[in-house]
Amino acid sequence: MRFQRRAAAIGLIAAGALLFSACGSDNNSGGGSAPQAAGVTCGGKQALKASGSTAQANAITGFVNTFEQTCNGQTVNYTASGSGAGVNDFTGGQTDFAGSDSALTAAQTPAAQQRCASTPLNLPMVFGPIAVAYNVAGVTDLALDGPTLAKVFNGTVKTWNDPAIVALNPGKNLPAAPIVVNFRSDNSGTTQNFQNYLNAASNNAYGKPAAQTFNGGVGAGAKGSQGVTDATKSTPNSIAYIEASFAQKAQLPTASIINAGGGQPVPLSTDNLGKAIDAVKVTGQGNDLTLDLTSIYKTTTPGAYPISLATYEIVCTKYADPQTGTAVKAFLQTALSPQAQGTLTQGGYVPIPDAFKQRLSTSVNAIS
């Protein structure tokens, strides 16, 4: 999954421009866009190795930039090889931590425990909103709820003027045209999270297994977030789930979602997703912060946007090599700093709200 590769490129160019324009001034920040973070205890291993989720790759890039600015001479080499490979590399001892779209399963935990010789921690460090983007002529303020979305994406609701959609959008001019569902054809954490949402928010009326492949049984697939975005842009009367940043860049309208609490439709925004994250339930024990994502999908908090992707860093509580532990702690402290969090929005992610950040800080500071 790609978050805003193009934006990253533009960012690089902008950074380069900054660098050139900064010639002559007393500016020692090499990357330009990544200021130093405060409150980080640097030190330990110089180059950490990590691999895993592609969904958080761009977030990690932002974190690493800040980390390099903050801790002189230290870096993290993150290989975006997919969540499964990331967990395998981590439990095999080839990497220092893993990025994963889901927490360790009961089957994976013993291997991770053995690799760490301590308790492995699942830390949800990166959240990304998933937008429901659509292309319907003349409609820019569509409102949908979980049960209706489930019916659209499993083919039960077939046309835009279906009573279920009309009931949520009184007075809007919805066409009698068939709904074209665009989905991701490649394996994707976005697809998995969105289907999890559909199942949770519709009380299983969606009725399809939530895998990394789309199982709704309708529509046409396209490769990658950009492919789905292009397809939605070019196909009239189509609808798709994509990472919010792609919808914004393509200027596709995104649906407001009525969450499980009922009430007003909630437009997609950083603040509105933050409200859902703040109210999230944690199922992990102690410093482990494994999330019950259902509590986001089925959030009843007024004004909370319920569709989100959460990706984890999987680390050890105590590393066999203290140098590694110190460096991992420094990196994650950097990631939680306001400077690193500030790099998230341009990658299409959501900065972690303060209340939840406190919990993450506590867990991170316990790493050694």
Partner 1 sequence: MGSVSEPQSPKASPASTGGAGERAFRWLTSGAGLVVVAAVVLIGVFLIVQAVPSLIANHANFFTSAQFNTGDANNLMFGIRDLLVVTLLSSLMALAIAMPVGLGIALFLTQYTPSRLARPFAFVIGVLAAVPSIVYGLWGILVLAPVIEPFAQFLQTYLGWFFLFSPGNISPVLTGTIFTAGIILAIMILPIITATTQEVFRQTPRFQIEAAQALGATRWEVIRMAVLPYGRSGFIAASMLGLGRALGETIAILLVIRASTSPSHGSLFDGGYTFASLIASAASEFSQPLPTGAYIAAGLVLFVLTFVVNAIARVVAGGKVNG
Nearer Cβ to partner 1 (113/213) = 213
Footprint on residues 136-165 left by partner 1 (CB under 8 A) = none
Cα 142 to Cα 230: distance, rounded to the nearest angstrom: 20
Footprint on residues 227-266 left by partner 1 (CB under 8 A) = 227, 230-231, 234-235
Shortest Cβ distance from residue 239 to partner 1 (Å)?
12
Among 32, 62, 82, 274, binds partner 1 (CB under 8 A): 82
- Which residues make Cβ contacts (< 8 Å) with residue 216, sequence separation at least 6? 153, 154, 155, 181, 183, 195, 206, 208
Cα 368 to Cα 323: distance, rounded to the nearest angstrom: 9
Nearer Cβ to partner 1 (94/264) = 94
Amino acid present at 227:
G
With CB under 8 A as the rule, give the number of residues binding partner 1. Answer: 30
Burial label for 114, CB within 10 Å (0-12, 13-18, 19+), is exposed
Nearer Cβ to partner 1 (236/263) = 236
Which among 81-89, 137-145, 160-168, 290-298 is the span making contact with partner 1, rule CB under 8 A?
Answer: 81-89
Among 53, 58, 74, 88, binds partner 1 (CB under 8 A): 88
Shortest Cβ distance from residue 364 to partner 1 (Å)?
28
Among 7, 8, 119, 186, binds partner 1 (CB under 8 A): 186
Which among 42-50, 139-147, 176-184, 278-286 is the span making contact with partner 1, rule CB under 8 A?
Answer: 176-184
Cα 167 to Cα 122: distance, rounded to the nearest angstrom: 41
Binding flag, residue 84, partner 1 (CB under 8 A):
yes
Output the six-digit token pair for 86.
């990331």
Which among 102-110, 205-213, 288-296, 339-347 is the span making contact with partner 1, rule CB under 8 A?
Answer: 205-213
Footprint on residues 207-226 left by partner 1 (CB under 8 A) = 211-223
Q: Beta strand 120-135 with 75-79: parallel, antiparallel or unpaired?
A: unpaired
Binding flag, residue 178, partner 1 (CB under 8 A):
yes
Compose the 284-323 pattern: x for residues touching partner 1 by CB under 8 A, - for all others: ----------------------------------------
Shortest Cβ distance from residue 52 to partner 1 (Å)?
11
Q: Enumerate binding residues for partner 1 (CB under 8 A).
A: 54, 81-82, 84-85, 88, 178, 180, 183, 185-187, 211-223, 227, 230-231, 234-235
